[in-house]
Structure 1
Amino acid sequence: MGEESKSIGEQGELIVNNFLELIGWNTPQSNISINCVYSIAHKSKTAKKERSTHGIDFFYANKSNLKINTLDNIVISVKFSASEYPKYPSTKFKEYISDLSQTLECFIRSDLRIESIMGFNEQRNIKKADDLGVLFWINNCNKSLQNITKEVATIETPKDLKFSRIYLVDNSRMVFIHKTITKMRSEYSNYLINFHYNQSDANFSDPEIIKYGTVMPVEYLTADILPFRLINDKDTIFGISTNDDFSEENLNSLLAYASDISLDFTNQLIILFPDYNKLSHNLICEKIIGKFNRRTHKTIVKILSFQSDFWSLGDE
């Protein structure tokens, strides 16, 4: 039983490690142990001894491109199982969040955090560090797309937990991001796929902020819209993938969003929906895109599904 549990854990860490590489979080530190600062308060209910350490599955740090002069220290916990999600996930969710929250609480006072900040301060102008958690709660059931994030959204976490933000990534979220990037790479193999970094009051005044790059911001992990720039020597395409189903309203909204961002650097746009079907949706697309182009400069708009099934072969 112990060997099987170890094998399952290793498989989960391998999946997450490859996923982190997919989103540009290359060479994260892994399997780190930090000292527990609150050994009594963080003691497990079933443990006889006080807690001495916390284990960190992965640690990744990067200067944020969405926040001014900010370093994101990201503590990653992987919870992987061979079976489906529990029918009532609240108990497990509270257990996993509590564990990661306590790890973050001790990480804030750890040598690992000090080393991370000093390492970036030597290279770039860092004035603030955000200490964040990412919980990968995933399993080996490829049909288990139960939206855990929505199910636990209203669950109250224990009031004694202290953390800034924790992002929850479940199977459905992994599928959305993985299929989106895979589709982009397949469809535009001669382009470099970059994440577009939205400009806002939180980052516009930082002279070092760039507008796009190969590293996904941590905030995009739980976003239902992923913006991209596809770039090669000849041109640039603005790409949007949405986790929301195709509808006239959603297409209108995405075109408006794209026009606010992309008209100064491209006249080409690709939009990915999870359920787009040319036969069912083409007339709506022609109507909406026609209206859009009458209001703005003429834009070449291509709409596809990011799902990989044989019906998508007819969307060309």
Structure 2
Amino acid sequence: MGEWSKTVGEKGEKVVDFFFKDILGYNSVSSNETIGCIKGTKHKSKTAKGDKTTHGIDALISVKSPLEDKLLDIVAISSKYTADEYPKSPKAKFKEHFEDLAFTLECFKNSRLYAETNYKFGGVNRTEITGVLVWLSDKSPKDYELIPKISNTQIDADLIFDKIIVVDNDRINFLYQTIFRAKEVYGVENVKFVYHNTSLNVIGLNSMSYGDFMPIQYVFSDIIPLRIEKGSDVEFIIFCKDSFSNDNLSKLLSFANSFDHLASAKKTILAFPDYNGLHHKSIIESELFKFPKYTFNQNLLVSLYPSDFRNK
């Protein structure tokens, strides 16, 4: 049983490593860090006899934020991979996983590892710590949505943390089918993440309006903008997790139009999970009168992801 648990854990770590490096583009991810526990009685497991002494961090990322000048983003990742399906009633197990990560974050902020990580970066005057709970199931469908089933879970008020993001099968599958597939088609070196103007990154946007890694704040966005370099030409792809509709089409067109620093893009591609060229063409043509910058099937394309021969 112990050997099987180890095998499952290693599979989870492998998937997490792939997610953050190959999909999100973080080239520096440290694994299996250990820190001391400073609140051993409070943080011990309910079944443990003695106080807790250490916390494990499955993966750790630190990077200067492209969304806020002089901000250091530190991401502490907890991998919870199960060989079985997600529980039918997942709230109890979720609270256990969430609490474990929150306790780790509380001690991390007072650890030597945190101080050493901050010390590596100059030109920083603020640090934000984000916890990421990656809870994946090997048996549940690849697009299984766990989040709606745990969204109203009551979290203990005495937990101390800045921010925790939960990633399930559905979220990783969305990012895999969009970002990773784009890298497969166009080449990793030609796919860049677009950094929008937050009003807090005035300095950063002057030198870096796009880059190789996805800001952790974008992980739960249902809209993924990518910059594609094709020789001397630039294309702009926006993936939308929501279904095709007049309203969503209009939102994406407005969104694309707002990226003034990408005005040189030769082509803009809007991608939906259910786009059907036969049925949706008239909707696009009727919507474009509000966006005279775009001409359908010239500098504006609409497509389906993953691809389908019927939309060729």
Fold-level match, TM-score > 0.5?
yes
Matched, 1:17 2:17: yes
Other structure's SS at 1:12 match: helix
Unaligned runs of 5+ in 1: none
Structure 1 position 280, deviation (Å): 2.8
Equivalent in the alignment of 1:305: 304
Instruction: Say which is worse superposed, 202-211 or 71-80, in terms of deviation.
Output: 202-211
Letter in 2 for 1:171: N
> Could you say which residue in structure 2 is the equivalent of 1:160?
158
- Asked if 1 retains the 8 angstrom alpha-carbon contact of 2:142 and 2:173, the reply is no
Map 1:57-136 → 2, pairs under 5 A: 57-121=58-122, 125-136=123-134
> 1:15 & 1:87 partners in 2: Cα distance?
23
Q: 1:207 to 1:236 in 2, by over 3 A?
A: closer
Q: TM-score normalised to the size of structure 1?
A: 0.92
Q: Which 4+ residue blocks in structure 1 deviate beyond 4 angstroms?
A: 205-209
Partners of 2:66 and 2:215 within 8 A in 1: yes
5 Å-filtered alignment, 1:235-254, equals: 235-254=233-252
State which drifts further: 16-25 or 49-58.
Answer: 16-25
Query: Is structure 2 residue 183 aligned with structure 1 residue 185?
Result: yes
Q: State the percentage of identical aligned residues.
A: 35
Does the 8 Å CA contact 2:237/2:269 hold for their aligned counterparts? yes
Residues 84 and 144, structure 1, Cα contact 8 Å, conserved in 2: no
Alignment partner of 1:21: what SS?
Answer: helix
- Could you say which residue in structure 1 is the equivalent of 2:4? 4
The SS at the match of 1:120 is coil
Q: CA-to-partner distance for each residue in 1:5-58, whole Å, 9 max, x for gaps?
A: 110110111011111112111231101111001111111111001110001100
Post-superposition CA distance 1:161-218 (Å, at most 9, x none): 0100001110000000000013323443497100000111222245776110010100
- For structure 2, which runs of at least 5 residues remain unmatched after alignment? none
| Equivalent residues in 2 for 1:160-239, closer than 5 Å | 160-189=158-187, 192-206=190-204, 210-239=208-237
- Which deviations, in whole Å up to 9, do the C-alpha atoms of 1:44-80 show, x marking residues without a partner? 1110011100011000100011122100111000000
The whole-number CA distance in structure 1 between the counterparts of 2:135 and 2:207 is 31
* Alpha carbons 2:67, 2:200 under 8 Å: kept: yes
Aligned residue among 132, 136, 144 for 1:138:
136
Q: For 1:315 and 1:256, how far apart are their aligned partners in 2? A: 24
Distance in 2, matches of 1:186 and 1:35, equals 41
